Amino acid sequence: MEIQKKAKRFCGRQFTNQETSLICEVVNTCVGISRKELAYTVCELLDWKRANGKLKERECREFLEQLDHQGMLKLPAKKPTGSSAPRKHVETDGPEWPYSQLTGSVEMYAPLSVERVEKDPQRRLFRELVSRYHYLGYAMPFGARLQYLIYTRSPREVAGCVQFSSPAWRLKVRDRWIGWDDTTRGLHLQHVVNNSRFLVLARIKNLASNMLSAVLAQLRTDWERHYGIEPWLVETMVDRKRYYGGCYRAANWIVLGETSGRGRMDRCQMRHGAAVKTVFIYPLIKNVARRLASGGNLR
């Protein structure tokens, strides 16, 4: 009995019945190629790309696996990667926080140096620090991402880690503040960036708020250069049971309200717990709500 192929929504894209049927046909026809190659093929056929023109291979692979789980198609078995490491990694051994023994005022170590994570040694260091010292551990972000290491001037030490990634698909307090409906949000969501990890590694007064200011000063340029789209708004969610979000408040972020507790990745049918979080935003441009609601066309 053939399973009915219905229209699907995944990561902000609505797939028509015809597109879903085409995906199933591609998977059934292209025997002998890997899941990654199937994802590239589907992306090319459906023109599923990022703003910078790169194919959304990773998102497509997740979508294919969802369809496989629902019985709509049958993917080839996963090929061994040589590693059984989980997608999310939390380091259980090692010294307790703080990582650094530096203390005092941030002025003693200024100016802070911001380095984007680009090379393998930087990636390993970022993953190790976040895995060991961040309460959520390290998880490969879904979709776009930029990661940064923050260094003190003298002595030169890593003082923090900051990660930005794709925004939450639905966030009630944010969408209400902007004035978005589903259609407009889908068109302009990628002008929003999520601060998905923020880790302070030293007990230095005012370090956290200064880290935020330093990294935001270059985020806009880096994101546009890397992904071909200008970010207008940064959002983050702080677990209210753990933190007050004082560094965000000190850095002039705006408090919008609280989440429903469903998790920021609910847009992709994934759940990461039910913790209620405080939503903070930081505009990178003027009149950001009006520009996000209108697509940047202010008259």
Q: Bridge-partner residues for 162, per DSSP?
A: 148, 198
Note the pLDDT of residue 264. Answer: 46
CATH 3.40.630.30 fits 88-294, yes or no: yes
Question: 193 forms bridges with which residues in the sheet?
Answer: 234
Query: In the chain, what percentage of residues exceed pLDDT 90?
Result: 53
Residue 257, CA distances (Å) to 49, 196, 216, 246, 278 in order: 32, 17, 22, 15, 6
Lowest mean pLDDT among 54-58, 108-112, 127-131: 54-58
Q: How confident is the model at residue 298 (pLDDT cuts 50, 70, 90)?
A: low
Instruction: Choose among 202, 203, 198: nearest CA to 219.
Output: 198
Q: Does the pLDDT value for residue 180 go beyond 60?
A: yes
Domain-wise residue ranges, the chain: 8-69, 88-294
Answer yes or no: is pLDDT of 29 > 80: no
Q: Under DSSP, is residue 238 helix (H, G, I), strand (E, B) or coil?
A: strand
SS3 57: helix
Average pLDDT score over residue span 188-208: 95
Is 0.75 surpassed by the pTM of this model? no
pLDDT band at 148 (very low <50, low <70, confident <90, very high): very high
Mean pLDDT value across residues 223-240: 94
pLDDT(257) > 60: yes
Q: What is the pLDDT of residues 50-72, one digit of tens each?
A: 877 888 888 899 999 999 988 89
- The CA distance from 292 to 164, in Å, is 19
E runs forming strands in the chain: 8-10, 13-15, 88-89, 103-105, 113-116, 138-139, 145-151, 158-165, 192-200, 203-205, 233-239, 254-258, 277-283
The whole-number pLDDT of residue 260 equals 80
Q: What are phi and psi of 133, to 5 degrees?
A: -110, -15
The pLDDT assigned to 296 comes to 64
User: Contact 147/162 with Cβ under 8 angstroms?
Assistant: yes
Residue 230 binned pLDDT confidence (cut-offs 50, 70, 90) = very high
pLDDT of residue 55: 85
Whether residue 175 is predicted with pLDDT greater than 90 in this model: the reply is yes
pLDDT at 278 over 90: yes
List, in order, residues 6 or more apart from 262 with CB less than 8 Å away: 271, 274
- Is residue 33's pLDDT more than 60? yes
* pLDDT, average across residues 161-175: 93
Output the six-digit token pair for 4: 């009915």
Q: Vertex 136, ends 221 and 208: CA angle to 5°?
A: 50
pLDDT of 137: 92
- 283 beta partners: 233
* Residues paired with 150 in a beta bridge: 114, 160
pLDDT band of residue 146 (cuts 50, 70, 90) is very high
